[in-house]
Structure formats: structure tokens, C-alpha cells
A and B are shown apart, each in its own frame.
Chain A
């Protein structure tokens, strides 16, 4: 049990690390441009969790002043991550728009096929 306790105490960080690494792996390993963006989103999501999970305090309530509640969760990470999510959405939207244009120009969104087409051009 003692060996497992750091695992259980910090399980949120293990989830974060798992998401982060799998996201990065998808970005690096996949040649499909849409899949790369999916990996990128996964990677970004792990960072959202990194901010949000320490902000939650067990037994804490939303930070609205009330005599009956003394422990509040930290609201700042939520605000930060709202911003980060908007940034992430903008990034993915732009990425998908670029993929659309690439598809129109090259007729494919597989990276190796595009590079092959470029090599023929030269």
C-alpha cells in the first residue's frame, strides 16, 4: 500500500502526464495533418488539467463569501484556462483552415504524400 500511495496521492499528475505524452506522440508519429491537430489538442488539454487540478481544494466551495463556508477553491486557474481554451480553439481552427487549404492545393493531407509531391516539383 505504501508503494502505491504516491501514485494515488498524485493520480491527477499521472493522468496529466499520460495525456501529455500521448498527445505529443500523436503529433510526432502521425502523418495525417488532422490527426496531428487532434494530438495537439490532447496535449493542450493536459496543460489545462495541470492548472485546474491544483486549484481545486477538497471540500472547498466556489469563492463566494458566506459565513457558513470557510474553505474556497482557487478561482484563478479557471479564468486562466478559459483564456487558454479560447487560444487553443483559435489555434485548432486556424490549423484546420490551413489543412483545408492544403487539401485544396495538394489533394491530400498525408504528410509523406505532400513531401513526395514537393520533391517531384523540384
Chain B
């Protein structure tokens, strides 16, 4: 990697904001446009930017591939787990009504957890695809 001061400095400034914006999109999903899919891609984009500016090896130190490959099933586990938890409360699968003390809070918590699962899986998948493709040897 060439020493490209402007790119590096700007990237360092921008990265935290991208991540915060990702979280904003994630949590704003309850009230307006947003949610796990979009947030997941934004978070993954932050990682891509880091990899493009600082090199893949540096990024893999911060976000190790093992964690990324665990994130993919983990998010699905959270999602499916919420559904199973709903079943344990006596409701149908993915019916969050009884997850909290009343129906409104139950639904809110259910959707919150499901969106968290989506965030984990989507960002994990995106980063995993990026690693798999970017890490290939050139022929």
C-alpha cells in the first residue's frame, strides 16, 4: 500500500461516522425507513473501506475471518431463537406478543431482536463474500 496521507486520514475520520450511521439506521428501523438489512450493508461497507485503504491484512487483524464466519449463522440463530422463544411462551412461532409483560412491548422486543439478528447475518455475509473474493490469489 502506498502512503496516501489524504485517503488514510479521511478514512480514519469517516469510519466511526459510517459505523454510527449504520447503528442509527438499525435502531431507527422501529420508527421509519431503516432496519437490519440496510444497517448490515452500511456496517460492512465500513469494513470494505478499511480494507481498501489499509489493506486486507490489516482489516483481517481487526475483523478476523473466524468471527465473520461465525456471525453469519449467529444472526440466523438469533432470529430463529426469538421464534423458538416465542413458542416457549405459548404463542405461535415468531409471535412476539408474550415475550414481554404486554403485547406492545413484546412485539417491540421481538422485532428488535430479529433486526439485530438480521444486522449480524447481513454484515457477516457481506464481509465474508468480500474476504472470499478479495483474498484470492491473482493468476
Tell me if chains A and B make direct contact, with any CB pair below 8 A: yes
- The reply on A82 being an interface residue by CB < 8 A is yes
Binding site secondary structure of chain B: helix
Interface size class of A (residues with CB under 8 A): under 10
Across the interface, do A97 and B37 meet the contact criterion of CB distance under 8 Å?
Answer: no
B10 beta carbon closer than 8 Å to chain A: no
Q: Say yes or no: B132 contacts A97, CB within 8 Å.
A: yes
Contact A86 B132 (CB under 8 A): no
Within 8 Å of chain B (Cβ to Cβ): is A34?
no
B139: chain A residues at CB < 8 Å are 104, 107
Mark out the residues of chain A between 61 and 117 whose CB falls within 8 Å of any chain B CB in the assembled complex.
Answer: 82, 86, 93, 96-97, 100, 104, 107
Q: List 12 A-B contacts (CB under 8 A).
A: A82-B37, A86-B37, A93-B129, A96-B133, A97-B129, A97-B132, A97-B133, A100-B133, A100-B136, A104-B136, A104-B139, A107-B139
Taking Cβ atoms with an 8 Å cutoff, the residues of B that contact A are 37, 129, 132-133, 136, 139
